[in-house]
Amino acid sequence: MWRTCLRLRDGGRRLLNRPRGGLIASEGRGPSPPTPARAYAPPAERKRFYQNVSITQGEGGFEINLDHRKLKTPQAKLFTVPSEALAVAVATEWDSQQDTIKPYTMHLTTLCNTSLDNPTQRDKGQLIRAALKFLDTDTVCYRVEEPETLVELQRNEWDPVIAWAERRYGVEISSSTSILGPSIPARTREALVSHLASYNMWALQGIEFVVTQLKSMVLTLGLIDLYLTVERAVLLSRLEEEYQMQKWGSIEWAHDYELRELRARTAAGALFVHLCSESTTVKHKLLQG
């Protein structure tokens, strides 16, 4: 997980139009959230204005310092995280910026801002329902009827993950070729609600973030439970797309860029969940630029 944290700087630019004139987290105004709003959108690039990044422990948790300025959220709240390990991961994002600050590569910072400000004012139950909503359209539960080679590929690659989830959580998850999707038993929903309720609000923000990347509750559970690696989870979420590209070809640079970006976002979300779910102490608090 820590090696993943140190590689987050390689995430790449998001394929979307970012709001212009936005301010970084240490300045009080935030950009307009996407629709439907789940998290802050990264603000625009700007020149790096600090030399050193450090971590201090305050009354509310661990704080990030850019030189002698304390980092703040878009709503001008003090940027405070619950664990030292998460603080180190966020500080690494800021320390990794070169001459230009590129917020769209700083997924952990964005997730922390969302958790601290809660811009959509959702409670724990709403976060759980938002994540479970993807179960109705879960990537691994929708199957094709043809061609046979893709049918077999989906069966061979997705069925073992579903079988694992059924054993792990004591639930029933079916697949379907119908446009209406599979029928998810009420007991399955209740069991997964109970499982997700064991996470705190911060971790749930990360879980929902991962679910939106993979378009799959099942793959997200496999990733968070360490049954799947980031690379494997991303590949399984893009199985049909990868099949079509192998058959018909692709624009190489665009494919590689999109894949790398999806891996970076998924890795950041999974790391965020784990760092928000564990109490981890590290020895070195000061990161020199």
Write out pLDDT tens, residues 7-65. Answer: 333 333 332 233 333 333 433 333 333 334 456 777 789 999 999 999 999 988 999 99
What tens digit of pLDDT does each residue of 169-188 get? Answer: 999 999 999 888 889 999 99
Higher per-residue confidence, 19 vs 77 = 77
- pLDDT value at residue 207: 98
Residue 150 has a pLDDT of 95
153 against 281, higher pLDDT: 153
21: left (phi over 0), alpha (psi -120 to 50) or beta: left
* Section 111-133 average pLDDT: 96
- What are the structural domain ranges in the chain? 51-115, 122-278
Which of the four CATH numbers 3.30.420.40, 3.40.50.300, 3.30.2180.10, 3.80.10.10 does domain 51-115 have?
Answer: 3.30.2180.10
The pLDDT confidence band at residue 135, using thresholds 50, 70 and 90, is very high
| Sequence-separated contacts (24+) of 237-242 with Cβ below 8 Å | 237/139, 237/213, 237/262, 238/262, 239/139, 239/153, 239/154, 239/157, 239/158, 240/144, 240/150, 240/154
For residues 244 and 258, the answer to whether their CB atoms sit within 8 Å is no
What's the pLDDT score for residue 24?
Answer: 39
Instruction: For residues 154 and 144, give the distance between their C-alpha atoms in angstroms, rounded to a whole number.
Output: 8
pLDDT tens track for 191-241: 999 999 999 999 999 999 999 999 999 999 999 999 999 999 999 999 998
Domain 122-278 has CATH 1.10.3580.10: yes
Joined together, the tokens standing for residue 267 give: 């890795």
Q: How far is CA 179 from CA 46, 117, 239, in A?
A: 45, 38, 18
Element (H, E) at 127: helix 124-132
